[in-house]
C-alpha cells in the first residue's frame, strides 16, 4: 500500500515537472527541444503580413490608444481576438485554458511562423535581449512572479501594451507599466530563430 502511494506521488511529481510552463526555473535547455513535452499540431505557414479587418483594427486601436492605421498585422490581432478571454490553465494549450508560455508558443508559431520552446525557462534563452524602449511588436517580455526568475511571459504589442495569459483574467491586453505587473518585469527581447542557434550543436 505504501509502495503504491509512493509510486503515485512520484508520477504526479514527474508530470508536474514535465508540464511546467509559466512557473518553472528548472528546465534550462538552450534549444527548442521541449523536454519530452507533447505539443499539439499547430497550423502554420510562411509569415506574410496581412492587413486586419476593419472591425479588428478599430477594436484594438481603441483598446491601445492608437489610430486604426497603426494596427497593421492582421494575423497577430486576429490571433489575439480569437484567444482573448481564454481562461488560464497551467499546462494548457487550447481554448479550454492556456498558460503564459503556451500562449507565446502558439502565437509565435501561428503569427510569425517562428518556433519557440514550450516553457518560460527555455523561451528566455531564445531571445536577443533588448532595452524596454527598443521593444517592437512580437518581442517577448518576462516577469519574476512568486519570487521566481522568468516565471511569466507575454508578447509586446505597441504603445506600451502587451498580451499575456493572466492567471486571474485569462488572455488579456494590459499596459506593461500597469502597477500590478511592471514591478515584476525583468527581461525582454526579440525571438532568435532556433534553427540558426542549434545548427552547430
Q: Are 135 and 188 in contact (CB under 8 A)?
A: yes
Q: Specify the pLDDT at position 22.
A: 64
Q: Specify the pLDDT at position 49.
A: 82
Q: What is the pTM of this model?
A: 0.79
Place of cell 514591478: 183
Q: In CATH, what is the architecture of 2-197?
A: Alpha-Beta Complex (3.90)
Would you name the residues annotated as active-site residues?
A: 100, 152, 164
Q: Are 168 and 88 in contact (CB under 8 A)?
A: yes
CB neighbours of residue 12 within 10 Å: 9
Q: Specify the pLDDT at position 36.
A: 47
Would you kindly state where each structural domain of the chain is located, as residue ranges? 2-197
Point out the residues of the chain with pLDDT beneath 50. 2-7, 9-21, 24-33, 35-37, 198-201
Give the span between the Cα atoms of 83 and 105, in whole angstroms.
Answer: 13
- Report the b/e string of 117-148 with b at 16+ CB within 10 A: bbbbbbbbbbbeebeeeebeebbbbbbbbeee
Amino acid at each position: 500500500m505504501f509502495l503504491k502511494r509512493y509510486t503515485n506521488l512520484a508520477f504526479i511529481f514527474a508530470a508536474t515537472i514535465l508540464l511546467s510552463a509559466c512557473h518553472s526555473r528548472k528546465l534550462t535547455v538552450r534549444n527548442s527541444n521541449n523536454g519530452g513535452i507533447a505539443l499539439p499540431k499547430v497550423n502554420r505557414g510562411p509569415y506574410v503580413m496581412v492587413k486586419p479587418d476593419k472591425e479588428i483594427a478599430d477594436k484594438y486601436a481603441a483598446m491601445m490608444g492608437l489610430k486604426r492605421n497603426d494596427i497593421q498585422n492582421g494575423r497577430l490581432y486576429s490571433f489575439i481576438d480569437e484567444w482573448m478571454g481564454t481562461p488560464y490553465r497551467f499546462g494548457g494549450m487550447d481554448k479550454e485554458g492556456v498558460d503564459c508560455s503556451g500562449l507565446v508558443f502558439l502565437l509565435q508559431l501561428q503569427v510569425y511562423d517562428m518556433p519557440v520552446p514550450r516553457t518560460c525557462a527555455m523561451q528566455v534563452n531564445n531571445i536577443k535581449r533588448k532595452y524596454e524602449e527598443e521593444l517592437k511588436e512580437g518581442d517577448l517580455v518576462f516577469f519574476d512572479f512568486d519570487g521566481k526568475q522568468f516565471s511569466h511571459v507575454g508578447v509586446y504589442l505597441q504603445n506600451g501594451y502587451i498580451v499575456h495569459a493572466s492567471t486571474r483574467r485569462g488572455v488579456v491586453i494590459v499596459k506593461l507599466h500597469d502597477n500590478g505587473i511592471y514591478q515584476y518585469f525583468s527581461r525582454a527581447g526579440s525571438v532568435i530563430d532556433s534553427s540558426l542557434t542549434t545548427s552547430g550543436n
